[in-house]
Amino acid sequence: MVAGNVNHRGEAILNLVVQNQHGASQAVEAVVDTGFNGWLTLPVAVISDLHLPRRNSGYATLADGIEVPIETYEATLLWDGSPLQIMVVASDSDPLVGMGLLYGYQLSIEVIAGGNVTARKLA
């Protein structure tokens, strides 16, 4: 199970730990974004602090139809008690958890300030 809470702005947050290839890690609070079909975005500062290796560049289409350039990086995410190799997208915003990462999980949100947010693996 992956856990977090609803913050004072009403955002569903999951508490995550991201690692680089050498085991250095950083805790992040990531907003659940059901409109994002990727796995995880991270601020450029986190990517830089962890010295994550760059893997690709390309374009993504935002919800409003605008295409924007993106850079992807390789990271290890401690997800549901196990290390998971993922590609993260660099962003200028708070970390986001996308539906790609949540696939195969049941997301539960108590939609009140401080409410529990959990992602449980489906059987």
So what's the pLDDT on residue 44?
Answer: 97
The phi, psi pair for 64, rounded to 5°, reads: -85, 5
Residues 65-97 have pLDDT tens digits of 999 999 999 999 999 999 999 999 999 999 999
> Does residue 101 contact residue 40 with C-beta atoms inside 8 Å?
yes
Domain residue spans in the chain? 17-105
Distances 62 to 50, 65, 103 between C-alpha atoms, Å: 26, 5, 20
3-state SS of 41-99 is EEEHHHHHHHCCCEEEEEEEECCCCCEEEEEEEEEEEEECCEEEEEEEEEECCCCEECH
Q: Residue 63 pLDDT > 90, yes or no?
A: no
| 27 DSSP 8-state letter | E
The phi, psi pair for 19, rounded to 5°, reads: -125, 155
Q: Give 104's pLDDT tier (boundaries 50, 70, 90).
A: very high
Q: Residue 61 pLDDT > 90, yes or no?
A: no
Question: Could you tell me the fold of the domain covering 17-105?
Answer: Cathepsin D, subunit A; domain 1 (2.40.70)
